Amino acid sequence: MSSNIEFDREHLWHPYTSLTSPLPVYPVAKASGVRIQLEDGRSLIDGTSSWWAAVHGYNHPTLNAALTAQASQFSHVMFGGFTHQSAVQLGRLLLSMVPQGLTKIFYADSGSIAVEVALKMALQFWLGQGQPKKTRILALRKAYHGDTFAAMSVCDPVDGMHSLFQGQLAKQLFAPAPQSRFDGPFLEQDAAALRQLFAAHHQELAAFILEPVLQGAGGMRFYHPDYLRLARQLCDQYQVLLIADEIATGFGRTGRLFACHHANISPDILCVGKALSGGYLSLAATLCNDKVAQGISHGEVPALMHGPTYMANALACAVACASVSLIQQGQWQAQVQAIENQLKSGLAPCTSYPGVREVRVLGAIGVVEMLHPLDVAQVQKRCVALGVWVRPFGNLLYLMPPFVIQPDELAVLTDAVCQLSKTPDWSQSVVLPGA
């Protein structure tokens, strides 16, 4: 094991981590349910669903069976000129679940690529409409939409983790981050700022992209559903496409099947990923309505100009069918509600700790915002000692556990977060970005 650690430390780059002075890593031997077992025998309760994807936990028999069955037929064929049952079945399942009006599906490799495709769809749509000046994207401050270049251009340009690339990114337009709390009144200042931007810039805007209700890696911020309703109204009024990035929020995480359902709106373009394949294989999708599809198809270049090699990979689509089917059975509603209730009670003690700024909970998401940034290495070392896996970022301790977590397991997670947030000396000496 030590030789593997040494090789990893010397040669393998981990996300948002220095290669010359990397964060410690913990070798995993196996995982099952909500527990990750390390090579040294220690067992950790997963509080992050492997970056919000493994909603059914690990080593799930239904997902394993789907993967094995597909592999016995074929693992991949190019999607150019071919199709296959798993891709078609997944498409049928998705269209039965997403907000009404979304009818076309483009399978992508990852969440970032799904956003790239969405932005490309918007730009090609307006070219097809004979409006080549509509090339800018409106996004939100505190937004995060991915790590590829077009996706980075619609992330927060100042406080986001990609600010060092600003000189190379397309210059987009940004609205103030919504201040209206999810559980409070909808503030006029949010409405006024958005109306002003649309009125002043609609002639150059191709689309408005946002993460509905939850701004994820930009700060785990929950905002009022009326903001979504206003966004839909203004996009219709000023002829701007609405893109909903539900890569983190889709498939029940916020307490509704899709976060757009909190406002009863349907976007023109929708991005999904993460929970789509249950955390087994990288897969995402970009969906659009007939208006967008027809607009692109009737343009000078009638094809959407994107085509990943592993588009609609059969293994990924097969396991995604199993994942989405498990969600569609309806157990997620009771699971997420139970998690929400327990997160509220379990994290409540944190509100009295001097180092805590705020505690907030929505669906299967619990956030403890600290007054100061956290030292990731020190916090994770302490978490492992407590038997949990919680990965902080910035000044946030958060929980997004698998939906299958049991009350006693969730209690261990919330107790650990309470212990961590009660200790005010986790200040971070070197601030590194990343979720």
- Residues designated catalytic: 16, 144, 245, 274
Handedness of CA 3, 25, 58, 89 (dihedral sign): negative
- Gap between the Cα atoms of 142 and 160, Å rounded: 7
Specify the length of the chain in residues: 435
Measured CA angle at 165 (ends 161, 171), to 5 deg: 105
List strands edge to edge, sheet with 241-245.
102-108, 284-289, 269-272, 241-245, 205-210, 136-140, 173-175
Task: Let me know if 358 is exposed, middle or buried by CB neighbors in 10 A (0-12, 13-18, 19+).
Answer: exposed
DSSP letter for 258, please: S
> Going along 39-84, which residue ranges are E strands?
43-46
Contact 357, 368 (CB under 8 A): no
Q: Please state whether beta strands 269-272 and 284-289 pair in parallel, antiparallel, or not at all (unpaired).
A: antiparallel
